Amino acid sequence: MGDLLYGIHPIYEALLAGRREFRRLYISKSRRIKGIETLFELARAGGTPVQYKAPDYFKSRLGDSVHQGLAAQVSELPLSDERAILKKAETDSALPLILGLDGIVDPQNLGSLVRTALAMGVHGIILPKTRAAPLSPAVSKASAGAMEHMLFARVANLVAALQRLKKAGLWVVGSHAGSQNAVDQADFNVGLVLVIGGEGKGLRPLVRKTCDYLVCVPQKTGIDSLNAAVAGAMIMYEVTRQRRK
């Protein structure tokens, strides 16, 4: 089993992260090496076999995906667990910041959230085994390769995972459009799990009930609610802003 990564950023970041086994790098015969010299040298230094393929190969394997004439056969991204995520926060000498995702099934939204999470210093992401987009090459592409550096834990029961993290001393804060608590009025200077709900439905009732606190991003009347990726980005930034102060 494995994945076919595609695009410059996902492949380059996967090579840098060193968490996947690279089995083969495919380069389109119509693509010049200029512009990907560093990626090419990283692959060669790691002993990755390189094959040049006709453009039809990429079309047949990847359809209309924006592959930029590059693909790589790699092992699946290794998963982590809650303890490793908490250990990373300890190693970083930082208050834990974990992202919990409830029902994020769109790869573009997941990739966008992962990209923001890496930029905002999130130590790891917890995903349920069901009702969640797989950690696919499409997500890596949407995250511009950020997925290759992030720790992920897949859990059978998200509520149980949140309860375990609460016992470990973290506060669980959920994003909920119906909350009366504006995000900039909350205090995020604690070990934190930020939970973002899925597209359309938001947090499930039991997940919402498990949260210690619910926050919303204030919006003007008559404007549709923000999607999960945008709301998550705004809340993650507020957490980072407060902690930086």
pLDDT number for residue 224:
63
Note the pLDDT tens digit of each residue in 65-90. Answer: 999 999 999 999 999 999 999 999 99
- Residue 225 has a pLDDT of 67
Q: In which domain, by residue range, is 41 found? A: 3-74
Neighbours of 178 (CB within 10 A): 10
140 plus 63 within the same structural domain: no
Are both 152 and 206 inside the same structural domain? yes
Name the 3-class secondary structure at 74.
strand
pTM across the whole model: 0.94
Contact between 187 and 205 under an 8 Å Cβ cutoff? The reply is no
| Relative orientation angle of helices 37-45 and 8-17, to the nearest 10 degrees | 40
Angle between helical axes of 158-167 and 82-91 (0-180°, round to 10): 40
Same domain, 57 and 168: no
Q: Both 64 and 107 in a single domain?
A: no
Same domain, 60 and 89: no
Q: What is the CATH number of the domain that holds 15?
A: 3.30.1330.30
State residue 153 phi and psi, 5-degree precision: -120, 125
Last residue in a domain, options 74, 104, 129: 74
The DSSP string of 175-235 is: E-TT-SSBGGGS---S-EEEEEEBTTTBS-HHHHHH-SEEEB----TTPPPPPHHHHHHHH
Instruction: Judge if 100 and 217 occupy the same domain.
Output: yes
Whether 59 and 97 share a structural domain = no
Mean pLDDT by 10 residues, the chain (245 residues): 93 97 95 89 94 92 93 97 96 96 95 98 96 95 98 97 97 92 94 92 93 90 76 96 89
DSSP labels for 113-134? HHHHHHHTT--EEEEESSSS--
In the block, tokens 């300890």 appear at: 90
pLDDT of residue 219: 83
The answer to whether residues 54 and 137 belong to one domain is no
Q: Give the SS3 label for residue 167.
A: helix
Q: Are residues 68 and 100 located together in one domain of the fold?
A: no
